[in-house]
Structure formats: structure tokens, C-alpha cells
């Protein structure tokens, strides 16, 4: 009876408009939060499965750096990179400082080419390193070759030159002849392929050999490296991408796609969240205005009931019950819509081999509860003050 008396003069148009705005704002905010938490969870699971990962970093080449030493990494720059929270460790590429070439014979036909060697610490290299060892006095030099090099030979060079295709096992049993130029004096060595690397696209030799050869054959010590091998916790972390861009460093663009995707997703998610909050705020203000107008439309009834001795709490409860029931419906509808969208997205992502978390994230449910509590608390405060104002006005009139 009390509810019917107090709400008999209400106009539903504004209430419906405010409800639709609140539903849109809540749905958009919850969807953005769910998507963000799912994406973060996906990257965390991916990190646990495949990390650590490695980035090969060099300085960006420009017209100025082509004629200077700025493309080299100083010790300070290496230390700064190693101190980043996202970085596990940093290793410098060592390269040969002397001319080198290699040749191999296949019956009456042979192949020779100028070569370059690089090296990194063995613990940063993938693959089986059992044969990848060298000591002073060894007659043969072990070499690691990128797997892609063999594919280029088998499916590119060999067919065009009438050369036979070879398997990794066959190539590992062959012996190569190396010619190393020691300040004008040729030094010949035999070499063999000790394994293959997927991580580093370069011809690798043991690090201790290249250090020794640069000193003995070229008369040079360690020089500042032009490339670094960086072990990172998560290459999709936008902080890595921002650091590289800020310092004009370059890396494998394919590996940094996840970082760019993460940055774009965070930006878009932030924009959507701001839009959702603005819509939600406007809807809540509209609700607040609606309740204040409701109090004004029912001012006579409220004053009369207060004069008859009805407690303000008895007038306060019907308004809150209506708003709470409406907000429960809005939040429940938004969660139902989000759940349906979530199931559809999980199904669509599964077709591409992407496994997203099942069900709604706990943070989404907590956010929904916080929205409900905040809305009811603000509305209750406004309604209570409005009723008290009308009661005080009544008393002063009498």
C-alpha cells in the first residue's frame, strides 16, 4: 500500500531510459574487464609453457650510423638492458675479425663461399651441444648451422645448380675445408657440422675458439658487439617493445607482434572502459535525478505521511526496493549477456587453437557487486536526504 501510494505518480519513460543506459554501461564495462582478464590469463599460461624466449637485438641502421660506431653496443648499454625487470640475461655476439671462407667437394663438383662466424655463450644456444666443443690443438672445428640454411640449400640452391639434396644426418658426416686469413697468411682447418640451431640465424662456432682466433689470427681483442642475444621472461610484454623503440633498437618483428598486440589491446580496452564508465556515470546521474524528481512529485504524500507520524525509514524503503530490484535485473541481464558472448568467443577461439578460460572471471563478479553496492549507497543517501529535507520543511511550515 505504501509503495503504491508513493510511486503512483511516477513517469516510466525516464526510468526506462536510465535503465537502458545503465544496462549498456554495465555490459560494456564487464565485457571489457572480462576480455582483459582472459587475455592476461592466456598470456600467463603461454609464458609458463614456452618461456623463456630469446630476442636478437641490434641498433637501427640510419644514414648517420652507417658512417659511425653508434651501431655498436657499449658496456653501459648492455648493463642497462640487463637490468630491466623483464630481462633474464644478455649475451653479446662475438664475430670473426679476420676473413674466412669454406669449401666442400661432391665428386667432380664443389662449392665454396666466403663465410662469417659468430659465437655466443653455450648456455644460450639451443640443441644438442655434445659435439660442439673445441680446445686449442683440436684438428677439427665444430660448427652449428641454422636449420633454415639447410632448407634454403635443399629447396633453393641445390635444384637450381643440379646439386643433390642432403639430409641433416648426411651433412653432419661431411667434412668442410676452412681457409682462415691470419694477417695475409692462410690457415687451413677442417670443420664439421655438430648440430643445428632454430634460435639463432647465424653460423656459430665455439665461443672460446672465436676469442682465441681473433687474438691470434687478427691480433684483436674483444670489440663492442653489434648484436645482442637477450633472454626475456615475456617478449609480448609491451615494456620490452617500448624500451626497444625508445632506444632505436630492432629485433625480430615476428616475436614482437605479441607485444604490439598487447599494447593495442590495452589501449582499446582502456578506451572502451572509459566510454563504459562515462555511460554508467550518466545513467546513474539520470537515476539520481529520477529519484529526486520522484520525491518532489510525491512531496505532498510524503509530508502528509510524516505529519501522521510515519517514520522516514518507512518512506525510504519503498524507493530503495524498487531501485534495488531494477538494478538486480540490470546486473543479472548484463552478466547473462556476457556469459552468452563468452561462450560464443570461446567456441570461435577454439577453432583457431586458442584456449580461453572457462566461465566468467572472478574480477567481473566482484566488479558487478561493487557497482550494485555503490549505486544503492549513493541512491540511498540521496533519497534519505531528500525525505529529511521534506520533513524539515514540513516542520518549519507548521
Domain holding 7, by residue range, is 2-48+260-397
Q: Are 262 and 4 in contact (CB under 8 A)?
A: no
| Residue 170 in grid coordinates | 648426411
Q: How confident is the model at residue 309 (pLDDT cuts 50, 70, 90)?
A: confident
Find the mean pLDDT for residues 320-342: 87
Q: How confident is the model at residue 260 (pLDDT cuts 50, 70, 90)?
A: low
**Percent of the chain at pLDDT above 90?**
15
**Percent of the chain at pLDDT above 70?**
81
Determine, yes or no, domain membership for 66: no
Q: How confident is the model at residue 143 (pLDDT cuts 50, 70, 90)?
A: very high
Q: Return the pLDDT at 120.
A: 92
Q: Are 118 and 92 in contact (CB under 8 A)?
A: no
One domain for residues 177 and 274:
no
Determine, yes or no, domain membership for 242: no
Name which residue leads in pLDDT, 160 or 190. Answer: 190
One domain for residues 293 and 202:
no
The residue count of the chain comes to 398
Q: Return the pLDDT at 208.
A: 92
Quote the number of domains for the chain. 2
Q: Are 25 and 280 in contact (CB under 8 A)?
A: yes
Burial of 53 (0-12, 13-18, 19+ CB in 10 A): middle
65 pLDDT higher than 80: no
d(CA 118, CA 122): 12
Burial of 175 (0-12, 13-18, 19+ CB in 10 A): exposed
Q: Are 86 and 99 in contact (CB under 8 A)?
A: no
d(CA 168, CA 305): 94
Q: Return the pLDDT at 118.
A: 93
Find the mean pLDDT for residues 120-131: 86
Q: Return the pLDDT at 394.
A: 44
Q: Return the pLDDT at 396.
A: 45
One domain for residues 390 and 265:
yes
One domain for residues 292 and 165:
no
Q: Are 331 and 368 in contact (CB under 8 A)?
A: yes
Find the mean pLDDT for residues 79-98: 90
Residues pairing with 146 in the sheet: 197
Average pLDDT taken over every residue of the chain: 79
Q: Return the pLDDT at 119.
A: 93
Find the mean pLDDT for residues 123-148: 88
One domain for residues 264 and 217:
no
276 pLDDT higher than 60: yes
- The neighbour count for residue 188, using CB atoms within 10 Å, is 8
**Chain-centre distance of CA 87, in angstroms?**
15
Q: Return the pLDDT at 207.
A: 93
Region of residue 354 (left: phi > 0; alpha: psi -120 to 50; beta: else): beta
Least confident of 44-58, 85-99, 244-258: 44-58
d(CA 16, CA 22): 10
Determine, yes or no, domain membership for 22: yes
Determine, yes or no, domain membership for 194: yes
Handedness of CA 305, 309, 313, 317 (dihedral sign): negative
Determine, yes or no, domain membership for 230: no
d(CA 139, CA 177): 11
Kind of pairing, strands 100-106 and 109-115?
A: antiparallel
Least confident of 1-10, 77-86, 108-117: 1-10
DSSP state at residue 165:
P
Q: Return the pLDDT at 1.
A: 42
Determine, yes or no, domain membership for 21: yes
Determine, yes or no, domain membership for 289: yes
One domain for residues 120 and 201:
yes
In the numeric block, the cell 610484454 is attached to 237
Q: Are 197 and 145 in contact (CB under 8 A)?
A: yes
Residue that is last in its domain, among 170, 199, 224: 224
Find the mean pLDDT for residues 341-366: 79
> Is the pTM here over 0.75, yes or no?
no
The contacts of residue 30 (CB under 8 Å, 6+ apart) are 334, 335, 338, 364, 367, 368
Burial of 119 (0-12, 13-18, 19+ CB in 10 A): buried
383 pLDDT higher than 50: yes
136 pLDDT higher than 70: yes
Determine, yes or no, domain membership for 238: no
One domain for residues 99 and 38:
no
One domain for residues 266 and 360:
yes
Residue that is last in its domain, among 174, 208, 224: 224
Find the mean pLDDT for residues 356-370: 84
Residue that is last in its domain, among 197, 224, 251: 224
Amino acid at each position: 500500500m505504501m509503495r503504491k501510494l508513493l510511486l503512483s505518480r511516477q513517469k516510466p519513460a525516464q526510468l526506462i531510459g536510465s535503465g537502458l543506459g545503465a544496462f549498456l554501461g554495465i555490459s560494456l564495462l564487464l565485457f571489457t574487464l572480462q576480455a582483459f582478464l582472459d587475455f592476461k590469463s592466456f598470456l600467463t599460461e603461454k609464458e609458463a609453457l614456452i618461456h623463456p624466449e630469446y630476442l636478437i637485438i641490434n641498433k637501427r641502421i640510419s644514414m648517420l650510423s652507417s658512417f659511425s660506431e653508434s651501431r655498436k653496443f657499449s658496456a653501459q648499454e648492455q648493463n642497462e638492458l640487463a637490468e630491466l625487470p623483464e630481462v633474464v640475461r644478455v649475451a653479446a655476439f662475438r664475430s670473426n675479425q679476420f676473413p674466412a671462407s669454406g669449401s666442400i667437394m661432391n665428386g667432380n663438383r664443389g662449392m665454396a663461399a666466403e663465410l662469417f662466424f659468430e659465437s655466443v655463450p653455450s648456455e644460450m644456444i639451443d640443441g644438442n651441444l655434445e659435439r660442439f666443443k673445441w680446445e686449442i690443438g683440436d684438428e677439427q672445428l665444430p660448427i652449428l648451422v641454422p636449420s633454415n640454411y639447410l632448407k634454403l640449400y635443399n629447396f633453393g640452391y641445390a635444384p637450381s645448380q643440379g646439386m643433390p639434396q642432403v639430409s641433416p644426418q648426411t651433412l653432419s658426416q661431411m667434412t668442410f675445408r676452412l681457409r682462415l686469413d691470419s694477417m695475409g697468411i692462410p690457415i687451413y682447418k677442417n670443420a664439421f657440422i655438430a648440430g643445428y640451431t632454430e634460435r639463432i640465424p647465424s653460423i656459430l662456432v665455439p665461443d672460446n675458439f672465436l676469442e682465441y682466433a681473433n687474438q691470434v689470427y687478427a691480433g684483436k681483442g674483444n670489440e663492442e658487439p653489434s648484436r645482442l642475444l637477450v633472454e626475456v621472461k615475456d617478449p609480448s610484454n609491451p615494456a620490452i617493445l617500448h624500451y626497444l623503440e625508445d632506444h632505436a633498437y630492432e629485433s625480430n618483428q615476428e616475436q614482437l607482434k605479441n607485444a604490439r598486440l598487447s599494447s593495442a589491446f590495452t589501449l582499446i580496452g582502456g578506451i572502451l572502459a572509459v566510454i563504459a564508465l562515462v555511460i554508467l556515470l550518466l545513467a546513474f546521474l539520470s537515476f539520481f535525478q529520477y529519484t529526486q524528481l520522484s520525491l518532489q512529485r510525491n512531496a505532498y504524500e510524503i509530508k502528509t505521511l510524516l505529519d501522521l507520524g510515519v517514520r522516514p525509514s518507512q518512506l525510504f524503503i519503498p524507493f530503495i526496493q524498487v531501485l534495488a530490484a531494477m538494478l538486480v535485473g540490470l546486473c543479472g541481464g548484463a552478466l547473462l549477456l556476457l556469459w552468452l558472448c563468452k561462450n560464443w568467443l570461446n567456441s570461435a577461439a577454439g577453432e583457431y587453437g586458442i584456449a580461453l578460460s572457462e566461465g566468467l572471471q572472478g574480477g567481473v563478479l566482484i566488479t558487478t557487486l561493487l557497482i550494485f553496492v555503490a549505486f544503492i549507497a549513493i541512491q540511498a543517501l540521496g533519497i534519505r536526504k531528500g525525505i529529511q529535507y521534506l520533513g524539515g520543511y514540513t516542520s518549519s511550515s507548521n
